[in-house]
Amino acid sequence: MLATGESLLMFVAQQGAFINFDKLRRIHKMPSSPHIINEPLNNGAIILYVAYLVLGWLVIRSVYRLWFHPLHRIPGSKLAAVTSFYEFYFDAIKGGRYLWQIEKMHEKYGPVVRINPREVHIKDSDYFHTIASGRRDKDTYNLNTIMTPNAALGTVGHDSHKVRRHIIDRVFSKLSIAKIDSMIQEKLEILMKRLNRARITGTVVDLNYTLANLTTDVISEYVYGESLGSLHEEEYQNTVVDDIQLSLGSFHYSRLSPTLLKLVRLVPMSLPGGGEKLTLEPFSRMVQLGREKSHEYLSGAISGDGVKKVTVLGALVADTVPPQEKTMERLVDESLAVLTGGILSTADVLAVALFHLGRNPSILQTLRQELFGSLSLSGDRIAWSQQSISITKLEKLPYLTAVIRESLRISHPVIVRSARVAAHATMYKDVVIPPGTPVSQSIYFVSMDPLIFPSPEIFNPDRWIEAAANGVNLTKFFVIFGSGSRACVGIHLAYAELYHIIAAFSSTFNWKLHQTGPEDVRTARDMLLAAPESGFLSIKAIITGTVE
């Protein structure tokens, strides 16, 4: 029966593709019967024929998807099962809101739902690691969102991904990140001096944008061997951050309508839901930057093995890397994937952390007591690099660690779901999901699960301290960086930045929030990154003084 449905679909599609309308007109004019009135077939009739053909194809496809598709027994919205436009409407047109529609489906149908014609979503925090484990490929459908298909991030096959991931794992290991601790502190000191000038002048600081300048300079120096110098821009201008945010505006259009994305390559256009304009111009600028830097490494101007400074590009052209992996496309895509992935996500977590610390004086006071009680902090903490505080020391502070974990949990740095495909059937309790089916689960649902994190919308670092004291393994559900072989490669770099910046800022400055309330921070949209009701995160503050 399944074969019959597929054959019908193929037949209708073939007929629509190969109808000869000139021949149709000639046949229409032939006197086959005296009862037939011979009239020329006009354009209106042609349109009508095509409309009937399309309608018939849609009906047959809908019938197949509802009653004969391998997923037809999986519960869920009938409209979602029939057409991907249901998802397109909520994510592309409405601007990243399908995640909450999925939540409503789970409330109605249970933990397993069919969220589009081909994908199943499971909402069960205990099952999260199961989906990410084993030999599972990435869903090819998600590649529409990946503008860097030659990066490990955009690699579909499990084995191919393993090879590419191994190349960059070494440069992002905890040991390698510890070696750039001084570089991170040097960048942080530049930021601290600028924040101190803002204190003196009373300037309102956009924390997200300001912190993104720091993360830009850190990750660009680690990728390319030299920073982009964003911290030295007089007005905190950062074209890379601007370009990333512009690109995120087209995220769901590219994910759900790759044909439209191809059109945009030729003609930029304005579309609702994502941003002011759907255009690939920002991405083109970033590609050009990556191409210029990659050429220096491939041409031998910079050696991958001989250079003293460890870089991502250096790791990609090392002698141990297979020749087929040392191409311009590979270097450009991998460097861009790392660069763009390590800027806004970390900056947003930092800004959210400072927002909640600013709103909760008791939490901030507890954090300061730990910092001053455990670290030998000198008077001039603006010169952070001279404090001789390593990431190793900071990681041993339990309350600082709790603040960082809670900031990551509540900020949802990467919110979009990512489906995995297994070659074998997937079992969830008594539900059998056919092999080859994309199965996804959302980090957001785990982080906001009230059974695991009571009052999940409340910023409460003490939940981590209490869980550890009571022998509860709460970290099992700390899945912010993903799970399995495709977990975030930059986890150790992100932690190094989070520990240093939160410790330095909290122990040095007093601040108050400026025209920023809970509604400006509450996650309301999935734009790959978590986003508020409109626009992107923009937490503003005024530095009011220094900590004595």
pLDDT above 80: residue 235: no
Gap between the terminal Cα atoms of the chain: 77
Sheet containing strand 204-206, edge to edge, reads 204-206, 540-546, 509-513
Of 40-44, 315-319, 332-336, give the lowest mean pLDDT range: 40-44
pLDDT above 70: residue 2: no
Residue 59 to residue 82: CA distance in whole angstroms: 10
> What is the full DSSP assignment across 270-330?
--TTT-S-B-SHHHHHHHHHHHHHHHHHHTTSS-TTT-SS--HHHHHTSTTS-GGG-SHHH
What does the pLDDT read at residue 303?
Answer: 55
pLDDT above 70: residue 465: yes
pLDDT above 50: residue 307: no
What does the pLDDT read at residue 300?
Answer: 74
What does the pLDDT read at residue 5?
Answer: 43
pLDDT above 60: residue 216: yes
What does the pLDDT read at residue 206?
Answer: 95
Q: Is 249 exposed, middle or buried (0-12, 13-18, 19+ CB in 10 A)?
A: buried
pLDDT above 50: residue 191: yes
User: Helix-strand-coil percent breakdown of the chain, rounded to 5?
Assistant: 55, 10, 35
Domain architecture of the chain: domains with CATH: 1-68 (no CATH), 152-546 (1.10.630.10)
What does the pLDDT read at residue 36?
Answer: 46
Residue 202 to residue 539: CA distance in whole angstroms: 16
What does the pLDDT read at residue 308?
Answer: 56
Residue pair 387/333 in contact (Cβ under 8 Å)? The answer is: no
Confidence of residue 18 (pLDDT cuts 50, 70, 90): very low
Task: Annotate 366-403 with b (16+ C-beta within 10 A) or e (fewer).
Answer: bbbebbeeebebeeebbebbebebebeebeebebbbbb
Confidence of residue 144 (pLDDT cuts 50, 70, 90): low
Q: In the predicted model, what is the mean pLDDT of residues 67-91? A: 96
Q: Which whole-number Å values give the CA distances from 208 to 132, 400, 408, 540, in the listed order?
A: 31, 20, 15, 8
433 phi and psi, to 5 degrees? -100, 125
Paired with 432 in beta bridges are 427
Residue pair 274/95 in contact (Cβ under 8 Å)? The answer is: yes
What does the pLDDT read at residue 254?
Answer: 74
Confidence of residue 37 (pLDDT cuts 50, 70, 90): very low
Percent of the chain residues past pLDDT 70, beyond the cut = 84
Residue pair 438/139 in contact (Cβ under 8 Å)? The answer is: yes
What does the pLDDT read at residue 156?
Answer: 81
Confidence of residue 281 (pLDDT cuts 50, 70, 90): low
Identity of the amino acid at 471? G
CB atoms within 10 A of CB 359: 16
In eight-state DSSP terms, residue 434 is: P
What does the pLDDT read at residue 279?
Answer: 52
316 phi and psi, to 5 degrees? -75, -20
Residue 208 to residue 238: CA distance in whole angstroms: 12
What does the pLDDT read at residue 409?
Answer: 98
pLDDT above 70: residue 7: no
Residue pair 442/415 in contact (Cβ under 8 Å)? The answer is: yes
Residue pair 452/125 in contact (Cβ under 8 Å)? The answer is: yes
What does the pLDDT read at residue 248?
Answer: 82
Average model confidence (pLDDT) for the chain?
Answer: 85
What does the pLDDT read at residue 131?
Answer: 86
pLDDT above 90: residue 283: no
271 contact partners, CB below 8 Å, separation of at least 6: 92, 250, 253, 277, 278
What does the pLDDT read at residue 33?
Answer: 47
Of 147-151, 168-172, 351-355, give the lowest mean pLDDT range: 147-151
What does the pLDDT read at residue 1?
Answer: 47
In eight-state DSSP terms, residue 425 is: P
- Tokens standing for residue 329: 């496309």
Identity of the amino acid at 375? L
CA nearest 485: which of 130, 132, 127?
132
Strands 119-122 and 112-116 come out as antiparallel
Q: Is 469 exposed, middle or buried (0-12, 13-18, 19+ CB in 10 A)?
A: exposed
What does the pLDDT read at residue 146?
Answer: 62
CA nearest 474: which of 453, 498, 494?
453
CA nearest 102: which of 441, 429, 485, 418?
441
Confidence of residue 260 (pLDDT cuts 50, 70, 90): low
What does the pLDDT read at residue 485?
Answer: 82
Q: In the predicted model, what is the mean pLDDT of residues 484-503? A: 94
- Tokens standing for residue 128: 């999260």
Helices and strands, number each (H, E), in the chain: 25, 12
Identity of the amino acid at 481? F
Strands 438-440 and 119-122 come out as parallel
> Which residue's structure tokens are 């869980």?
467
Q: In the predicted model, what is the mean pLDDT of residues 371-396? A: 86
Of 316-320, 375-379, 504-508, give the lowest mean pLDDT range: 375-379
321 is in an annotated binding site: no
Q: In the predicted model, what is the mean pLDDT of residues 337-347? A: 93
What does the pLDDT read at residue 186?
Answer: 94
What does the pLDDT read at residue 32?
Answer: 47
Confidence of residue 258 (pLDDT cuts 50, 70, 90): low
Q: Is 159 exposed, middle or buried (0-12, 13-18, 19+ CB in 10 A)?
A: exposed
- Tokens standing for residue 107: 């409330």
What does the pLDDT read at residue 274?
Answer: 46
Of 10-14, 33-37, 56-60, 158-162, give the lowest mean pLDDT range: 10-14
Residue 199 to residue 227: CA distance in whole angstroms: 26
Percent of the chain residues past pLDDT 90, beyond the cut = 60
> Which residue's structure tokens are 């990435």?
138
What does the pLDDT read at residue 182?
Answer: 93
pLDDT above 50: residue 87: yes
Q: In the predicted model, what is the mean pLDDT of residues 405-434? A: 92
What does the pLDDT read at residue 39?
Answer: 55
